[in-house]
Amino acid sequence: MSDETIDCTDCQDQVHDYLQREVSEDLSKSITAHLANCDHCDDVYKTEDDLNQIIRTSCETQTPEEVIARIRKHIAELG
């Protein structure tokens, strides 16, 4: 697919996997080229990338130690 162009539908269908680096090198090159020339698909890409960053940030939040202690105490009382 390296010499083939990719259309908007295919690009948008693959953008999540592309961001996760789960596409072949040839497909990645095709998507990269398409994004460089298509403002609409580039906007879709940026939105998906922003969403992924929000999810990553949310998952990095640490549970406060007092909450962990209360949960452990409750589990110990049940057991």
Count: domains in the chain: 1
Which CATH number characterizes residue 62's domain?
1.10.10
Q: Is 3 inside a domain boundary?
A: no
Higher pLDDT, 17 or 4: 17
Q: What is the pLDDT of residue 32?
A: 97
Q: What is the pLDDT of residue 29?
A: 96
User: Each residue of 32-67: b (16+ CB within 10 Å) or e?
Assistant: eebbeebeebeebbeeeeeeeeeeeeeeeeeeeeee
Q: Is 2 inside a domain boundary?
A: no
pLDDT confidence of 2, banded at 50, 70, 90? very low
Write out the residue range of the structural domain in which residue 42 sits. 8-78
Residue 29 CB burial class (10 angstroms; 0-12, 13-18, ≥19):
middle
Query: pLDDT tens digits, residue range 8-66?
Result: 999 999 999 999 999 999 999 999 999 999 999 999 999 999 999 998 888 777 888 99
Q: Is 34 inside a domain boundary?
A: yes
Q: What is the pLDDT of residue 59?
A: 78
